[in-house]
Structure 1
Amino acid sequence: MALQQIVEQVVTGLGYDLVEIERSAGGLLRITIDLPWVAPATDAPAPLLDQFVTVEDCEKVTRQLQFALEVDGAEYKRLEVSSPGIDRPLRHEQDFVRFEGSVIDITLKAPMGAAAAGQVSANRKKFRGTLERAESGGWQIVWRDEPAVKPGQKVSKKRVPAPLQALGFTLDELRDARLAPIVDFKGRAGKAGQGAA
């Protein structure tokens, strides 16, 4: 059985989602797992607390994977099982549905080219913005190209904000998509209803 199949079978069998399998130099086999996500019903209240993968979850998956990989004779020197972290990769349509409304980073396979209208460089491939459902049914990322405000710098209330820009895309056009690693030290207030990261 192929490594992908073995790992996926063990991880899903234990009730987790397989996010990523990565082989690194030195025989490291890195497995990233997450808790399964079910789209909330439209009339259901938003969950109050996010649920996250714990150390115990990673330990349970590691024990089962070590056994399954040994039985199959898979070659690796070190196994690492972890949660996806704050820069979780988005790979499947369900990931985009789950994190709709979140700030994400995307990298396109090819530059936008001549289709880029307005203030965006035609050679640009990387974007950070809010993930939204496009009117066409696909996905779009919405952002403002404003210069970053330095800590302590005062911003005039009369300053006109940069215009909103949007870029529609399909999953086939993406090289990489991840949640933007934004750390908020003010707590989780106001984030109820967003999926776990």
Structure 2
Amino acid sequence: MSKRKIVEIATNLAEPVVKKHLFELVDVEYVKEGPNWYLRIYIDKPGGITIDDCKVVSEEVSDLLDKEDPIPQSYFLEVSSPGLERPLKKDSDFERFKGELVEVKLFKAINGKKKYVGELIGLIDNKIVINLDSGETMEFEREEVSLVKRTIIF
């Protein structure tokens, strides 16, 4: 079974559990690191996620995964917060984090650069729009972007 299909199945199983606890399902990924496979579920809520939040979601999703058994190989289930530098994936993320500093990574360089950092203006006509420190406004087609994440500068 493909990784994409496993992520889809896990997302469909996790979404009702996460919503039931009034959390947001931020992302689901299925990755191989070294010899091990990991199914990672990232959840969030206003004020942040606690270890107890992760525990309850992990236990409930684990029971559903055991029942459905959609993943042929052994794997580790991890449920966690996406962290301060969380990726922005959903349309609602671009609304929620307007005005915050984001990093935009591109598949192909524009003006010789594949990474831009600026204040998020939002998602406008399916384009990610940011203001750079120079005052310049940049727009990126969603298909050109490999990653958008919040960024913290110390």
TM-score by length of 2: 0.80
- In the TM superposition, 1:46-195 aligns within 5 A as 51-75=47-71, 76-112=74-110, 122-133=111-122, 139-144=128-133, 163-183=134-154
CA drift at 1:143: 1.7
The one-letter amino acid paired with 1:174 is V
Indicate the structure (1 or 2) with the bigger Cα radius of gyration.
Answer: 1
Against the structure 1 CA distance between its residues 139 and 22, is the aligned structure 2 distance closer, same or farther, given a 3 Å change threshold?
A: closer
Against the structure 1 CA distance between its residues 134 and 171, is the aligned structure 2 distance closer, same or farther, given a 3 Å change threshold?
A: closer
Q: State the aligned residue count.
A: 142
For residues 125 and 50 of structure 2, the distance between their equivalents in structure 1, rounded to whole angstroms, comes to 38
The one-letter amino acid paired with 1:69 is L
Establish whether residue 5 from structure 1 lines up as the match of residue 15 from structure 2. Answer: no
Higher-strand-fraction structure: 2
The 3-state SS of whatever aligns with 2:13 is: helix
The 3-state SS of whatever aligns with 2:153 is: coil
Q: Indicate the residue corresponding to 1:30 in structure 2.
A: 40
The one-letter amino acid paired with 1:73 is D
Report if the CA contact (8 A) 1:134-1:168 is conserved. no
Q: Indicate the residue corresponding to 1:18 in structure 2.
A: 25
For residues 38 and 131 of structure 2, the distance between their equivalents in structure 1, rounded to whole angstroms, comes to 37
TM-score by length of 1: 0.64
> Aligned Cα RMSD in Å?
2.4
* Structure 2: unaligned runs, 5 residues or longer: 1-7
The 3-state SS of whatever aligns with 1:109 is: strand
Report if the CA contact (8 A) 1:87-1:180 is conserved. yes
Q: Deviations over 1:59-105 (max 9, x none)?
A: 11011011110010133432110001011000011101000000000
For residues 121 and 92 of structure 2, the distance between their equivalents in structure 1, rounded to whole angstroms, comes to 13
Report if the CA contact (8 A) 1:86-1:182 is conserved. no
Against the structure 1 CA distance between its residues 180 and 63, is the aligned structure 2 distance closer, same or farther, given a 3 Å change threshold?
A: same
Extract structure 1 runs of 4+ deviating beyond 6 A: 134-137
For residues 168 and 3 of structure 1, the distance between their equivalents in structure 2, rounded to whole angstroms, comes to 33
**Identical positions, percent:** 28
For residues 75 and 138 of structure 2, the distance between their equivalents in structure 1, rounded to whole angstroms, comes to 43
Report if the CA contact (8 A) 2:28-2:41 is conserved. yes
The one-letter amino acid paired with 1:34 is D
